[in-house]
Amino acid sequence: MKKNHCPLCHANEFDYYRAGYEYTLAKCSQCSMVWDNHPPANPTKIYQEDYYNNEFPKGGYANYFQGMKINSRTFRKRLLKAEKKLSGKGLLLDVGCALGDCLAQAQNLGWNNPQGLEVSEYAVEFAKSRGLSVCQGDLFNHNFESNYFDIIMLQDMIEHTTNPMAQLTAAYQLLKPGGLIFITTPNVGGFWHKLLGPLWYHYKPEEHLTYFSLDTIKFALEKTGFSDVESKPTSNLMSLEYILNRLKYYQPTLFSLLLRLARLLNLQKLVFSLWIGELEAWGKKTVNNYQLSVIS
């Protein structure tokens, strides 16, 4: 079904532009939000076992399992930042938690029973096998009470949805007054997007459905009701093997050769902190006078 209204400001004026081979996206003429206005009928069906371990040059993961230790270091860094912002640990919900690496790190850091939501049945079962508290569902299908969590994390998740404002509203309702939301997502207005244009790596047909910039994610959070909103580019820890695997999208022969060489020299596990074209955003659930009178 075509979605010709902006998912952020709901304007119906937009331009098309090329975002890859035979792939076009819509860009709102009013707020500059970017989205796929021909999304798949069932966006969640791709999140099966092969999503986490495949040979696709784009989409899913070349080998999620190989990168779990490195991913965990990125999650640990984010959780420590969240602790500072919260002035301690609290009740945490990781939405789109995949195989549970962030939750495992939260447990290791002493967070009290961190919770996860994930649409993939395979990922939920895998996370549960690790002793993690994960439910199959999403922000519209769960058993959590309103005003419950101190922080909700949407890490590389919101770009997979067709209605991001509804997602943010649902998250807002689950947060305690003064609670935090944390988001990471590709930055459609960033340096790498501007440099690569239609070759930008984060353009992923049928997988990434909405694309935020620093300005539009800030606008979305403020429109939802969040205060103290901040958005900025963010970095990720990545192994040389992961980097070369993904660069094969651009030059398969060259980067396959470099990957074999890296493995031969036992360099594939080298880790780098890279700015790969993503942003992070934070917001606080507003504490209004009514809420203050309720909790006092």
Residue spans per domain, the chain: 43-234+280-295
Whole-angstrom distance, CA of residue 234 vs CA of residue 243? 17
pLDDT, position 91: 98
Give the tens place of pLDDT for each residue, 133-179: 999 999 999 999 999 999 999 999 999 999 999 999 999 999 999 99
Residue with tokens 């890279």: 274
Q: What is the mean pLDDT of residues 260-275?
A: 88
Residue 92 above 70 pLDDT?
yes
Helix (H) and strand (E) counts in the chain = 9, 11
Q: How far apart are CA 49 and CA 63, in angstroms?
A: 11
**Could you tell me if residue 182 is left (phi over 0), alpha (psi between -120 and 50 degrees) or otherwise beta?**
beta
Which homologous superfamily is 43-234+280-295 in? Vaccinia Virus protein VP39 (3.40.50.150)
Q: What does the pLDDT look like over 229-241, one tens digit per residue?
A: 999 999 888 888 8
User: Tell me, what's the pLDDT at 54?
Assistant: 55
The reported pTM is: 0.89
Indicate if the pLDDT at residue 293 is higher than 50: no
- How confident is residue 55, by pLDDT bands cut at 50, 70 and 90? low
Closest by CA position to 241, among listed 259, 266, 264, 265: 259
Dihedral angle at the C-alpha atoms of 58, 63, 66, 71, nearest 10 degrees?
A: 50
Mean model confidence pLDDT for the chain: 89
